Amino acid sequence: MDRLIGIADTARQLGVSPDTVRRLIRRRMLHAVHVSRRILIPESEIAKVCQHGCGQTSRKSEAN
């Protein structure tokens, strides 16, 4: 079974902000598990995002 990681730790591992992690979860680009009031991400999901990229573009690159 995968180890579950919190949003802050996931953000650190991916090099993005916690808000970006929440956005990826809302857009269903990152699978998360709700345990009580916590949102936890399986380590295997973090590995998938690292391999494929999060598909996020910065606001600067969207303007170009």
Predicted pLDDT of residue 50: 78
Angle at 61 between CA 24 and CA 57, to 5 degrees: 10
Predicted pLDDT of residue 62: 44
The answer to whether the CB of 46 falls within 8 A of the CB of 40 is no
pTM for the whole thing? Answer: 0.74
- The domain locations on the chain are 4-54
Q: Is 56 exposed, middle or buried (0-12, 13-18, 19+ CB in 10 A)?
A: middle
Strand partners, 41: 5
The answer to whether the CB of 10 falls within 8 A of the CB of 19 is no
- Residue spans of beta strands (DSSP E) within the chain: 4-6, 33-35, 38-42
pLDDT tens digits, residue range 2-50? 899 999 999 999 999 999 999 999 999 899 999 999 999 999 998 888 7
